[in-house]
Each structure stands twice: as C-alpha cells, then as structure tokens.
Amino acid sequence: MLFAAVSAAVFLAAVAAYPTKAGGAADKNPSGPATDADRSGCVAEQHQADALAAANDPAGFLRLGRLHYFGFCVPADPEKARQYLERAETLGLVCAPVLLESGRESPFVTGELERQALFRRCAFRLTMTGDPKVATSSVAEMLLPAQTPPELTREIGQVFETVENSPQGTLSLARRYISPENPPGMRQVARHWLRELAVKPSSVQTESQYILGRLVFEPDGSPFREEGNRTFLLMAASGGHVPAQLDLGRYYTARARDKADRVRGYAWLLVAGRNGLDVGEHLKAAERHLDAADIVDAEAISKTLPIVGRP
C-alpha cells in the first residue's frame, strides 16, 4: 500500500497548500507573509499561486480557482474559476472541480448526470487515502468556506464500500477510469485497483489481468512497465482468457525480439483459433517470418498451452 500512502500524501499536501485561519476556516483574504505595502496578503497570495501554476503545479491552479470562485483578492469570476479548477483536475487534483458544485444556485452547475460522474471520479481518486473519513475531511478542507455537497459524501461512502467488498464493482470502476481519455492520476488509481484484483482469486481475476495486459499496446517508453503488462497478459492467456490468447500472440509476433518470440506468438494464435477466434490473417502475417520447421515447432508448443478457453 506504499503507492496509496504516497498518493494520499500528494493529494493532502495540495489541499493543505491553501492557507486557512487558525480555527480551520478559510481566510476571506488568504495570504502569504504580509508586508506594509500588502497588509491583506493578497499580492503575496496571488504571486505564490501564479508561481505554482507557472510550474504546472496543480496546487497553484487550485489556489487560483478558489480566489476567483470566492472572490478572494480578485473579483469573483466563475468562468476563470472553472478553467483553473479543470486544469488542476487534469494535473491530478481530480476533486478540484467539485468546488464548482458546492453551491447549487451557481449558474455554472453541471447537469445531474455530469455532476454524479464528477463526484464518482473524485470519490474513486480518494480511495487512495485508504480511509473514507480522511477522504471526506480532505475534500471538506479544500472546499472551505463552502459546504461539501451531501451527494459527494454519500458517493465517497459507496465507492469505498465497493472497493472494499465488491470485486465486480471495483472492476467496473477501474475499467471506466483506465481508458486513455482519463487524466493520468485517474489511470494510476485504476491500475492500482486492477493490480489488487489481478492477484486475488475471484470471478474477475482473469479479466483484470487481461485489462492490465492490454496496456502493453500503449508504449510509454518504460521497458519495466511493458514487461509487467506483458506478464499480466500471459497470466490471463494461461488462465484460458481467449481474447488474451489472441492479443498475446499478436504481441509476440509484432514485437518479436527473435525467432523464438515469433514461434511463441504463432503458438498462441493457434490456441486462440482453436478456442473459436478468427486468426487467419494474423497467422498469415506471422508466417512471412517463419519457415516450415518453425511452424512445426509452434504446433508442438501450442499443444502444451490451454486449449479450452473462456471468453
């Protein structure tokens, strides 16, 4: 759970970057160290927020969003607040846009479905804190002096209940947030829960291995990560997951380091074909790099691999 602890620390540090009064309520004029020329601290606060944002630090965009949302030090500007908070979300503070939902009377409140999706993303991201109470308090601190929407509090409770007790529900959430259109922070959380599912026996173990394994087709420049993803794909294929058998064959034949990889890939394609998938074109492509003896070897290897698969 080291990853969870680090992720929680990063999130909470960004939240804590916004100054509050000693009693915990957000200062109406938040500031850094005040000077005689800047008794309110506004100039210092804006300077610090701008500097963090210039460094692409999500805490800077969160602070700018808060300033423009509440009208601290600057005139209230809902549209600027939205832009800053959405940028903070993209950079990893997934819960930042929740601030826009803290007042239903606001003209820029989202539709109900989009609102629910926002709360669910935030709640799933916060599972990395490891504790629903910590998650709820961290959001409450970020939103001060606004109130946490009760729907978000309920969503946090429901999502924590899911990841703790429902492998199928956790898989559903992770599958949704692992796709490339999600911010990197969300994909990181999805990978974490998929890995948890992939190593624990359950009805979704093999499917979780397959989802992780398919990431091998998203090269990110990291040989270590590619090796890990390929291992999950191999685990799923060996467990009888037929699409994984096809994809493993495709991977070995397309990314072959040597002839042994091509032979191994051809063998997995044969297994996928025996389990009902159309592999004709893939076999033809692979045969361009194999001779008759290689194909005989692949046939022999395929007979040692799982024949009966499951979709």
Same structural domain, 141 and 246: no
Q: Is 175 inside a domain boundary?
A: no
Q: Is 230 inside a domain boundary?
A: no
Q: Is 219 inside a domain boundary?
A: no
pLDDT bucket at 257, cuts 50 / 70 / 90: confident
- pLDDT of the residue at 112: 78
Q: What is the extent of the structural domain holding 37?
A: 1-165
DSSP 8-state code for residue 201: -
Q: Is 188 inside a domain boundary?
A: no
More confident residue, 74 or 107: 74
% of the chain exceeding 90 in pLDDT: 61
- pLDDT of the residue at 37: 52
- pLDDT of the residue at 290: 94
Length of the chain, please? 311
> From CA 81, how far away is CA 49, in angstroms rounded?
13
Q: Quick check: 186 pLDDT over 70?
A: yes
pLDDT bucket at 14, cuts 50 / 70 / 90: very low
Torsion sign (Cα): 56, 59, 60, 64: positive
Same structural domain, 34 and 148: yes
Same structural domain, 160 and 255: no
- pLDDT of the residue at 16: 44
Is the Cβ–Cβ distance between 29 and 40 less than 8 Å? Answer: yes
Query: What residues contact residue 292 under an 8 Å CB cut-off, 6+ apart?
Result: none
Is the Cβ–Cβ distance between 130 and 155 less than 8 Å? Answer: no
pLDDT bucket at 301, cuts 50 / 70 / 90: very high
Q: Which two tokens stand for residue 288?
A: 């361009």
Same structural domain, 148 and 58: yes
Q: Is 246 inside a domain boundary?
A: yes
Q: If you average pLDDT over residues 275-281, what whole number do you get?
A: 95
DSSP 8-state code for residue 128: G
Is the Cβ–Cβ distance between 9 and 1 less than 8 Å? Answer: no
Same structural domain, 136 and 263: no
Lowest mean pLDDT among 18-27, 96-105, 156-165, 301-310: 18-27
Q: Quick check: 124 pLDDT over 80?
A: yes
Same structural domain, 248 and 106: no
- pLDDT of the residue at 278: 96
Same structural domain, 295 and 156: no
End-of-domain residue from the set 130, 165, 200: 165
Is the model's pTM score more than 0.95? no
20 has which bridge partners?
A: 26
Same structural domain, 161 and 247: no
Q: Is 50 inside a domain boundary?
A: yes
What mean pLDDT value characterizes the chain?
84
Q: Is 192 inside a domain boundary?
A: no
Q: If you average pLDDT over residues 155-168, what whole number do you get?
A: 97
Q: Quick check: 81 pLDDT over 60?
A: yes
Q: Quick check: 23 pLDDT over 50?
A: no
Q: Quick check: 26 pLDDT over 60?
A: no
Same structural domain, 138 and 247: no
Q: Is 174 inside a domain boundary?
A: no
The structural domain count of the chain equals: 2
End-of-domain residue from the set 107, 137, 165: 165
End-of-domain residue from the set 136, 165, 194: 165
pLDDT bucket at 53, cuts 50 / 70 / 90: very high
More confident residue, 282 or 142: 282
Q: If you average pLDDT over residues 92-101, what whole number do you get?
A: 88
Q: Quick check: 22 pLDDT over 50?
A: no
